[in-house]
């Protein structure tokens, strides 16, 4: 092969290597050839897009559901022959470096994301065409980070208001031997990546069975195409409390630490969104496990230190 090396690279503009709306995306295309070559066209493209794809079985057929959206598309011509296709442009032998730059549009666009049935990608592609039969291609993706402080605001303005508010819920379950009451509390709904929060489960077990609280971080991915919806869920166990014996009460507290690289909550993409919940279940023998879910919004940014708070008095007392 005459072309020994062909690559496209972008320059880092910050320590994270991420780009955002309004930034200048610059980089270079490197070509190494063993001898002089004729070129029909040589260009580099920048593209931002979202795409979802999945198959569903409908009767005897497998039906494709897909959708895509383009956020921006730019093309920069590095070399072009004088008459289209005549190969009159010559590139000399050796190493050649060609710089380029694009301005990313200043509009609301979602961050880079890869899910079960869809992805949001921002990429650079370079094409070097010598003839209709000989085209060299290279590609790289660059991480894009939305500038929107609240990329979920379109879901509900009430989410923004409640980010720092305490969240709590109560559930009462009945089994053959008595009543089980659980109250779950988290200190706030909005957490930054890497941040920690205490989650408490207060259990009043008036049954004849021992119950065990379990704490989960729940992820929900939703994809939409052609009026069809596909949902992918995943539960991450982050704590198991001590068992609450029959005819007793106990408060169990676990610390949820948001993984630093877990993608932030977003709803600013029309084809997919990502949301989270805190879920606490009670493991009850021979009974469908009761559960409580609390809303959770994961925010971009550096975590705040966990604030140690004085424990509140138990909200119930066992009745004699």
Give residue-wise pLDDT tens across range 206-227. Answer: 988 899 999 999 999 999 998 8
Mean pLDDT, the chain, rounded, equals 86
The verdict on residue 308 lying in a domain is no
- The residues near 300 (Cβ < 8 Å, ≥ 6 apart) are 111, 145, 146, 192, 193, 264
Q: Do 100 and 56 fall into the same domain? A: yes
pLDDT value, residue 65: 93
- Residues 76, 115: one domain? yes
Is the pLDDT assigned to residue 298 strictly greater than 80? yes
Task: List the one residue out of 118, 105, 126 whose CA is nearest residue 19.
Answer: 105
Residue 173 sits in which domain range? 157-299
Residues whose CB is less than 8 angstroms from the CB of residue 124 and which lie 6 or more positions away in sequence, other chains included: 8, 10, 25, 27, 44, 45, 46, 139, 140, 141, 142
Q: What integer is the mean pLDDT of 86-115?
A: 90
- Number of H helices and E strands in the chain, helices first, is 1, 19
The last residue of a domain, from among 141, 167, 183: 141
Are 229 and 254 in the same domain? yes
Tokens of 207: 């049954």
**How far is CA 286 from each of CA 175, 209, 245, rounded to the nearest angstrom?**
9, 10, 15
Q: Are residues 176 and 226 located together in one domain of the fold?
A: yes
Q: Which helix (H) or strand (E) holds 157?
A: helix 157-161
Residue 195: per-residue pLDDT = 92
Which of 116, 141, 166 terminates a domain? The answer is 141
- The pLDDT value recorded for residue 318 is 39
**Among 92, 113, 141, residue at a domain's last position:** 141
- Identify whether residues 124 and 173 lie together within a single domain: no
In this structure, is residue 313 part of a structural domain?
A: no
14 burial via Cβ count (<10 Å: 0-12, 13-18, 19+): exposed
Give the least confident one: 112-116, 135-139, 172-176, 215-219.
Answer: 172-176
Give yes or no for residue 68 having a pLDDT over 90.
yes
Does 148 map to a domain?
no
Same domain, 172 and 104: no
**Inter-residue contact 3 to 96 (CB < 8 Å):** no
Number of structural domains found in the chain: 2
Residues 7 and 49 occupy one common structural domain: yes
Q: Assess if residue 171 is contained within a domain.
A: yes
More confident residue, 131 or 25: 25
Whether pLDDT at 46 is above 90: yes
CATH number at residue 272: 2.60.40.640
pLDDT surpassing 90 at residue 154: no
Judged by average pLDDT, the poorest of 23-27, 72-76, 223-227 is 223-227
Residues 202/315, Cβ–Cβ less than 8 Å: yes
Distances (CA, A) of 20 to 101, 106, 126, 216: 14, 8, 21, 32
Residue 317 lies in a domain: no
- 176 and 267, same domain (yes or no): yes
Looking at residue 309, its pLDDT comes to 44
278 located within any domain: yes
Please provide the size of the chain in residues: 320
Do 169 and 295 fall within a single domain? Answer: yes
| 245 occurs within a structural domain | yes
Q: Identify the pLDDT of residue 312.
A: 41
* pLDDT, tens only, 242-277: 999 999 999 999 999 999 989 999 988 989 999 999
Instruction: Assess whether 125 and 166 both reside in one domain.
Output: no
Do 189 and 126 reside in the same domain of the chain?
A: no
Give residue 164's pLDDT: 74
149 found inside a domain: no
Structure confidence at residue 89 (pLDDT): 82
pTM across the whole model? 0.83
243 with 286, same domain: the answer is yes
Instruction: Please state, for a pLDDT cut of 90, what percent of the chain lies above it.
Output: 60
């Amino acid at each position: 092969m005459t072309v020994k090396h062909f690559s496209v690279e972008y320059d880092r503009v910050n320590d994270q290597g991420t780009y955002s709306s309004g930034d200048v995306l610059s980089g270079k295309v490197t070509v190494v050839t063993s001898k002089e070559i004729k070129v029909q066209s040589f260009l580099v493209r920048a593209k931002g897009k979202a795409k979802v794809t999945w198959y569903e079985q409908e009767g005897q057929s497998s039906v494709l559901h897909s959708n895509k959206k383009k956020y921006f598309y730019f093309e920069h011509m590095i070399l072009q022959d004088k008459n289209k296709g005549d190969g009159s442009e010559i590139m000399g032998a050796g190493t050649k470096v060609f710089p380029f730059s694009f301005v990313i549009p200043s509009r609301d666009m979602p961050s880079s994301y890869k899910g079960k049935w869809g992805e949001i990608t921002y990429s650079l592609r370079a094409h070097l065409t010598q003839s209709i039969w000989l085209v060299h291609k290279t590609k790289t993706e660059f991480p894009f980070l939305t500038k929107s402080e609240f990329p979920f605001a379109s879901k509900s303005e009430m989410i923004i208001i409640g980010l720092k508010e305490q969240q709590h819920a109560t559930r009462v379950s009945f089994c053959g031997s008595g009543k089980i009451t659980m109250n779950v509390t988290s200190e706030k709904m909005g957490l930054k990546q890497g941040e920690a929060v205490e989650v408490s489960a207060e259990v009043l077990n008036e049954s004849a069975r021992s119950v065990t609280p379990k704490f989960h971080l729940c992820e929900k991915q939703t994809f939409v195409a052609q009026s069809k919806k596909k949902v992918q869920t995943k539960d991450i166990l982050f704590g198991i409390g001590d068992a609450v014996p029959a005819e007793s009460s106990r408060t169990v507290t676990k610390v949820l630490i948001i993984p630093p690289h877990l993608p932030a909550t977003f709803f600013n993409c029309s084809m997919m969104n990502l949301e989270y919940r805190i879920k606490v279940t009670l493991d009850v023998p021979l009974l469908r496990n009761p559960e409580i879910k609390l809303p959770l919004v994961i925010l971009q940014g550096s975590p705040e230190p966990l604030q140690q708070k004085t424990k509140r008095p138990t909200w119930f007392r066992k009745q004699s």
